[in-house]
Amino acid sequence: MAQLTLVFHALTDPTRRAVVERLRGGPVATTELAARFDMALPSFLQHLGVLQKCGLVRSSKKGRVRTYELSTAPLKAAEDWMATQRLLWARRLDQLDTFLNELKEPPE
Amino acid sequence: MAQLTLVFHALTDPTRRAVVERLRGGPVATTELAARFDMALPSFLQHLGVLQKCGLVRSSKKGRVRTYELSTAPLKAAEDWMATQRLLWARRLDQLDTFLNELKEPPE
């Protein structure tokens, strides 16, 4: 539950969603990533911190270069939660539909 | 974009997620819905307002009874955004894998 809260919170911000969209193309070094965003570096690093805390991105350091990459398990978990609600609701609608049709034409 | 922000924001809250989970079973009247949550009614109505504003629920009134029901299009839109990022990233990994294999065993 807490994980879902963090993931949805991370994705409320357009900059953080844009970072996710950028990283879907593969790992990117901090400076290259930051260059795409018109924002002070400390603010940008805070956004990366939020994404990292909820597990949506991970980073590794080689020499002086830190690289970020997408980690898709939390996306999948959030997708699964949403799909569950949506599909159970669709099933409920189908059941209601069947019930209403049976009221009109009772099965023999 | 703004719609995604509102939907993800609505889903950051465990109470609002629990309302969505409750409504996946079909429409529920306000009082019955509120009875499930240990919360002052005004606070609860605020949560319903957030869900309604982003389009995740809609309500209708018959006499003095207001009923809430799930509206799944915003869930689907958010799911689609997440699936796109995840699948493009997976494709990128596959391409990298192919490339690395070709480095080891150059195609004839």
| Chain A residues lying within 8 Å of B20, measured CB to CB | 85
- Does residue B71 carry a pLDDT above 60? yes
| Spatial separation of the C-alpha atoms in residues A36 and A20, rounded to whole Å | 13
To the nearest whole Å, the CA of B63 is away from the closest chain A CA by 23
| Chain A residues lying within 8 Å of B80, measured CB to CB | none
Mutate to test the interface with B, among A5, A8, A20 (most CBs of B within 10 A): A8
CB contact under 8 A, A4 and B23: no
- Does residue B69 carry a pLDDT above 80? yes
CB contact under 8 A, B89 and A4: no
What are the distances in angstroms from CA B78 to CA A24, B44, B104, B108? 16, 24, 40, 44
Q: What's B37's DSSP letter?
A: S
pLDDT tens, residue by residue, B5-42: 999 999 999 999 999 999 999 999 999 999 999 999 99
What count of other Cβ atoms lies within 10 Å of the Cβ of residue B71? 16
Domain boundaries defined on chain A: 2-104
Considering only the beta carbons, identify the residue of B8, B70, B88 that sits closest to A24: B88
> Ramachandran region of residue A4, left (φ > 0), alpha (ψ -120 to 50) or beta?
alpha
pLDDT at res. B105: 81
CB contact under 8 A, A79 and B83: yes
Partners of A96 in beta bridges = none
> Dihedrals φ, ψ of A49, to 5°?
-60, -40
pLDDT at res. A107: 65
Q: What is the ipTM of this complex?
A: 0.87
Considering only the beta carbons, identify the residue of A17, A21, A86 that sits closest to B76: A86
pLDDT at res. A49: 97
CB contact under 8 A, A89 and B23: yes
What count of other Cβ atoms lies within 10 Å of the Cβ of residue A27? 17
CB contact under 8 A, B89 and A24: yes
Q: Which of B9, B78, B4 is nearest to A78 (CA)?
A: B78
To the nearest whole Å, the CA of A63 is away from the closest chain B CA by 23
Structure tokens at B82: 């997440």
CB contact under 8 A, A81 and B23: no
How would CATH label the architecture of B2-104?
A: Orthogonal Bundle (1.10)
